[in-house]
Structure 1
Amino acid sequence: MTSTISLKNVSKLYKDVPAIEDISFSLDEGELVALVGHNGAGKTTLIKAILGLIRPTGGTVRVLGEDPVSGNLSVRKDVGYLPESVSFHLALTGKEILSFYARLKRVPMSGWQNLFDLVGLAKTAADRPVRTYSKGMRQRLGLAQALLGEPRLLLLDEPTSGLDPALRRSFYDLILEFKRKGTTVLLSSHALSELEDRAERVIIVNRGRKIADGSLDELRRIACLPTHIRFKPSANAAVETWSRGSVKWLERKDKFLEADIDHREKIAVISAVTSDPDALTSMTIIEPTLDDVYAHFLQGQGRKP
């Protein structure tokens, strides 16, 4: 099966200054992958290379089997892109904006009303000039243009910027529906907490290099970060029961016991703590977050905060 995106040893220099160096990865049909990195890490350069807006200094980029710079231009109809900063002609209406981009992509405009519904824009907004739109409405219009033609590949750069929490949830519901239909999604965002339960794979870039690539569980194992366990013994349970083990539990003022557990010992500790359910009144297990994993890999690269 041909990968939707394939990068092999891709580099890009600007006046001998590397923006990205020797990056390789591939994305298959129906994957939702988070591209994570600080500002200046190389994310936007990567996206531009995938879009064919820049030619790599070295390496190869293939999108749907074609070179995005000089390959079959019809492939671009199957690619949707939402940039970080959405900018439209303020005098045009929402419908006119979609019509303009539909002509550029050479896709039909017949489903524009459905697109307005999908992204949460009222049909009444279709005939209003974009200058009357709020920031969130312009972001949703940008998503609508990215979805024109039901693309096989979606490239989304900070897509939830300007959206309130309810609209962020509906946005991800929409993206996950496209993913289920087979669309490949590469999503760049600083809102890491939003990605934890949605992205099945995370690619971390730093200083123009790929420093990590895998599912969140895989990256947690590589990072060897501890799991935080917190529980409260019942009134008739003796704290000494757990204090005699190898784990050093800290007793808080509210009578909760907590400790950071090595990932290799997590299952055994949980089994021991829960061996007598009547001895517990509550228990919380906190795995390392994507923020924790991201910080770990950046520290390994020696990046200063």
Structure 2
Amino acid sequence: MSIELDAVSKSFGAVEAIRNVSLTIGQGEMFGLIGHNGAGKSTLFKLMLGLLPASAGAVRMNGVPTSSAQFRQVRRRIGYLPESFVSYDNLSGLEVLQLFADLKQVARAECGRVLRRVGLAHAASRRLHTYSKGMRQRLGFAQVLLGDPELIFLDEPTNGLDPEGIADFYGILHEAQGRGATIVITSHILADIQDRVDRLVILDAGKVAALGTLADLRSRQVLPSHIEVRLPPGGADKVGPALAHLAGVTIILDGEHATIACAAALKAQVVAALAPMLLDVSIREPSLEDLFLGYGGHHARAH
């Protein structure tokens, strides 16, 4: 299922939460939506889900406007996990899932399969008040998967999950994507999503600050690559002279280790110049968090 936002704005009184946002998300794409608190991520989610009307512009899914009567049928093919999944503590995990199955008009028989897929089969009969935060998050993800939705919205979905749980979560998402599902995901844990989304948008004060693949954003920001090297005794004195012919290179020496910051186009020349003296080398490209900060997301959390 594709999504199209055409010059969408949303105001709450005098506050303009979303400002003239235009973007298209293709079918089968895993799309990241990032921005600091107050950037407009949750508002944009609600606009795309049809939970809020746009003040200006249009939101369409597979060409169907979210403001139209026909959108009710489209909405049945959508799965959504809000940032905080809340349900009835006195119900068991299976009963909660059966409730969602009834709401979605999905056969209850599917609940057991979905609970197994998210690793909760052992806790199906336990009351929700005994669930940990991570287990509640898995249950919330389970209700998203009911009915094999064609479009999945996930708001901070890895809250409370341990590293194994996060890996399982993305494994399930890639299975859904393999079936053709479109996935829109927002996360503050930028390191988790940077190598998993196909494209992403960075929101800043309700506007699109950047849109594209991670490679696109790196090329536009022109942030330096960092080459970290380990040198033999006495090697540190040779680094400066070896790189003197390269302009715009910054060298930080720390005993037998050196970090060289340079433009991406110079990486090969730096490594070639230092090759005779290298004991070890690693290259760190700008992370999504580096890019986020560079595009104005100054309130990003460090993870």
TM over 0.5: yes
Deviation, 1:74, is: 2.1
Partner of 1:98 in structure 2?
A: 97
Cα distance in 1, alignment partners of residues 102 and 61 from structure 2: 21
Secondary structure at the aligned position of 1:143 is classed as helix
Cα distance in 1, alignment partners of residues 279 and 175 from structure 2: 39
Partner of 1:254 in structure 2?
A: 255
Cα deviation digits, residues 123-153 of structure 1 (max 9, x gap): 2422222112111111111000011100111
Counterpart AA for 2:160: G
Bigger CA drift: 256-265 or 288-297? 256-265
Deviation, 1:39, is: 1.0
* Structure 1 residues 80-91: aligned runs within 5 Å: 80-91=79-90
Secondary structure at the aligned position of 2:64 is classed as coil
Cα distance in 1, alignment partners of residues 68 and 108 from structure 2: 27
Cα distance in 2, alignment partners of residues 245 and 294 from structure 1: 32
Provide the alpha-carbon RMSD of the alignment. Answer: 2.1
Query: TM-score of the superposition, structure 2-length normalised?
Result: 0.91
Deviation, 1:254, is: 3.0
Structure 2 contact 32–185 (Cα < 8 Å) conserved:
yes
The sequence identity of aligned pairs, in percent, is 37
Cα distance in 2, alignment partners of residues 251 and 211 from structure 1: 32
Query: TM-score of the superposition, structure 1-length normalised?
Result: 0.90
2:38 aligned residue (24, 37, 40): 40
Bigger CA drift: 64-73 or 208-217? 64-73
Cα distance in 2, alignment partners of residues 193 and 128 from structure 1: 33
Cα distance in 1, alignment partners of residues 243 and 88 from structure 2: 66
Cα distance in 2, alignment partners of residues 271 and 213 from structure 1: 34
Secondary structure at the aligned position of 1:91 is classed as coil
* Structure 1 residues 3-42: aligned runs within 5 Å: 4-42=2-40
Secondary structure at the aligned position of 2:124 is classed as helix
Q: Which runs of 5+ in 2 are unaligned?
A: none
Structure 2 contact 34–186 (Cα < 8 Å) conserved:
yes
Partner of 1:245 in structure 2?
A: 245
Structure 1 contact 4–184 (Cα < 8 Å) conserved:
yes
Deviation, 1:181, is: 1.8
The count of residues paired between Structure 1 and Structure 2 equals: 296
Counterpart AA for 1:116: L
Deviation, 1:304, is: 7.7
Cα distance in 2, alignment partners of residues 69 and 101 from structure 1: 24
Partner of 1:166 in structure 2?
A: 164
Q: Which runs of 5+ in 1 are unaligned?
A: none
Alignment pair present for 1:286 and 2:279: no
